[in-house]
Amino acid sequence: MKKLFFRFCFRLTGWKMKGQRPDLKQYVVIVAPHTSNWDFFVGVAARSISGLKSHFLAKKSLFDLPVVGWFMRAVGGFPVDRSRNTNMVDQVVELFQQHEEFIITITPEGTRSYVPEWKTGFYRIAHKAGVPIVMVGFDFEHRVVEYREPFYPTGDMEADLEFIKSYYRSIKGKHPEKGVI
């Protein structure tokens, strides 16, 4: 029922899905560009339409709000305390080791605000856990959510990040001026 509702919403607003969710038990999904709160709603709809059962990281303060916190947990959120110096990479890698099926969605920017560079945690998590990265683009200009084929990190982070970023260069977020690429 939820899938039909979100398909209807996508059709009504002119959004389309392109590509397919991979049939793998473990991977890191990266979604970019992340420039607006609308990304969350587009993401929830796309996730439901594609049948993706994924977790995501979000700032801890959102989980402290009574209704918002409940909702964030209900849709797969994990709180991140960005003020503490915790090793998030190792914590997420451990989740991959503990669960036969585990998919996590991460925005490389780590925020909706402009930042000069992507954070590399998503890459380090995938490489250390031995899982692929699935690139998903939210193209507001063309109203398309696109899944790309899984990409397996080689260990050459600089070359791999350049390859990944090359895909996102043509994708326009809701507020393109806030995008990194």
pLDDT tens profile 38-51: 777 888 888 888 88
pLDDT for 114: 65
Task: Give the whole-angstrom CA distance, residue 96 versus residue 126.
Answer: 9
Instruction: Answer with the residue of higher pLDDT: 88 or 133.
Output: 133
- CA separation, residue 62 to residues 4, 32, 39, 68, 178 (Å): 28, 20, 16, 6, 21
What pLDDT score does 142 carry?
A: 92
- How far apart (Å, rounded) are the C-alpha atoms in residues 129 and 38? 30
* Residue 107 binned pLDDT confidence (cut-offs 50, 70, 90): confident
Confidence of residue 128 (pLDDT cuts 50, 70, 90): very high
Domain ranges of the chain: 2-174
Q: What are the tens digits of pLDDT across the range 60-102?
A: 888 999 898 998 888 888 787 766 556 888 888 988 999 999 9
Q: What is the pLDDT of residues 134-160, one digit of tens each?
A: 999 989 889 988 999 999 999 999 999
CA angle 114, 117, 123 (to 5 degrees): 125
Cβ contact 20:50 at 8 Å: yes
Mean per-residue pLDDT, 112-121: 76
Share of residues in the chain with pLDDT > 70 (%): 87
Write the CATH number of the domain with boundaries 2-174: 3.40.50
Tell me what pLDDT residue 124 has: 96
Q: Supply 156's token pair.
A: 């050459």
Q: What are phi and psi of 86, to 5 degrees?
A: -105, 155
Q: Record the tokens describing residue 122, joined without a space.
A: 């998503």
Taking the C-alpha atoms of residue 98 and residue 93, their distance in angstroms, rounded to an integer, is 9
Record the pTM: 0.84
pLDDT at 177: 64
